[in-house]
A and B are shown apart, each in its own frame.
Chain A
Amino acid sequence: MIANYGYKDGSGEYYISIDTDNCIDCAAGRACLTACPKEMFEIITDDYDDEVACVKKNFTRTLAFDCADCKPAGGYTTLPCISACTPGAIKHSW
């Protein structure tokens, strides 16, 4: 399942998507949990009884602000969450 967390507002679209099929037998040892400096990810049991990563509810309306430190205006080459998730489950829309 692709789970998209985030929002669209007047300034743009801010979504983090997680391909949760990769999480079921995570080959990265749940690295997303510790890689994110804001601890934005958590593991939940989803509706189909799979243990998968999700973005914590309290971040889903403020992603542009919360990820700003990892995304300096001058540009960036990689993000801690994406580097840590070697199965490639995490994507950012902005």
Chain B
Amino acid sequence: MSAELAMPAAEEKKEFWRWQENTWIEEGMDWRDAKVITCGIDVGSVSSQAVIVCDGVLYGYNSMRTGNNSPDSATNALKGILDKSGMKLEDIHYVVGTGYGRVNVPFAHKAVTEIACHARGANYMGGSKVRTILDMGGQDCKAIHCDERGKVTNFLMNDKCAAGTGRGMEVIADLMQIPIANLGPRSFDVETEPEAVSSICVVFAKSEALGLLKAGYTKNMVIAAYCQAMAERVVSLLERIGVEEGFFITGGIAKNPGVVKRIERLLGIQAVETKIDSQIAGALGAALFGYTLMQKQAAKG
């Protein structure tokens, strides 16, 4: 089985915002053969991930919605991958926490910011050619430059407003009563591309969307207008630090072609593709940080 994504079955539950929680392990690997096992835990505002890396190679992950508090979210995320792999916490040599809840991961040896972890994760997922990373997280957006080893050289974060983030997309999914995974494809099912909704605030975008429906827009047109607004917003963020070739998108919205294709169109550049779930970039980077630290420790003796 590959780490590729499947479409969620949210429609029957009528929870249109609900994206698919995911657990995956590389069946061709046996973690018992690994010399060094490290784990990254990313506790974000909307989703939490646990990633296991064996000798510097992605072994498995669990991605789920963040719960009521960071310690429980971290524990549950890890439990998903431990249960699937038969591994125990004691089998893991080093744990790195990241995300907004990174200092509240009870079993972490170290906390690293999500900026550094996303750069490192993107470097693994997209290769050493990745230079510009756009992380579209649950409630913030980050634009990052990195070098060929995934070390951050420039970053900018906007956490002032939920527009252009996963949370904003969830709101639109609920409002339109369309499963979140269908928003992107449906945004292209329009005869003419509508203008972006004008508001950059998710609260106002919601009332504007309702106004457009009343004015005769189809749901697909409203979604297209919202995807375009999101794309324009994050592109203006990216332009502040500049976009270099080797452009990579992480976070849940990287799975939404309605936003990704519009960003690519606005930038005139194609994002580097990956088969690995874009939502695990932060946790993967954290696990790789752990691996590097273990290697440094071993070198010191």
Contact = CB atoms under 8 A, between A and B. Distances in A.
B256 interface: no
Nearest to A61: B160
A61 B159 contact: yes
A48 interface: yes
A15 interface: yes
A15 B160 contact: no
B158 A7 contact: yes
A1 B153 contact: yes
Interface stretch (B1-9, B37-45, B235-243): B235-243
Interface string B183-210: 0000000000000000010000000000
A83 B134 CA distance: 33
Contacts of B237: 8
Contacts of B112: 47
Given A1-B153, A10-B200, A15-B240, A47 B116 contact: yes
A59 B113 CA distance: 18
Interface in B86-130: 112-113, 115-116
Interface residues of B, number: 22
Contacts of A22: none
Contacts of A69: none
B126 to A, nearest CB: 20
B270 interface: no
Nearest to B113: A47
Interface in A44-63: 46-48, 60-61
Nearest to A3: B155
Contacts of B115: 47
Contacts of A10: 200
Contacts of B57: none
A8 B236 contact: yes
A5 B157 CA distance: 7
Contact of A4 (B113, B241, B289): B241
A13 interface: yes
Interface in A23-68: 46-48, 60-61
Contact of B240 (A1, A3, A4, A60): A4
Nearest to B114: A47
A54 B186 CA distance: 42
Contacts of B240: 4, 8, 13, 15, 93
Contacts of A73: none
Contact of A47 (B152, B153, B154, B160): B152
Interface in B253-296: 289
Contacts of B155: 1-4
A10 B156 CA distance: 18
A92 to B, nearest CB: 13
Q: Which 9 A-B pairs have the closest CB atoms?
A: A47-B116, A4-B156, A2-B154, A7-B160, A61-B160, A47-B112, A47-B113, A7-B158, A1-B152
Interface of B: 112-113, 115-116, 145, 151-161, 200, 236-237, 240-241, 289
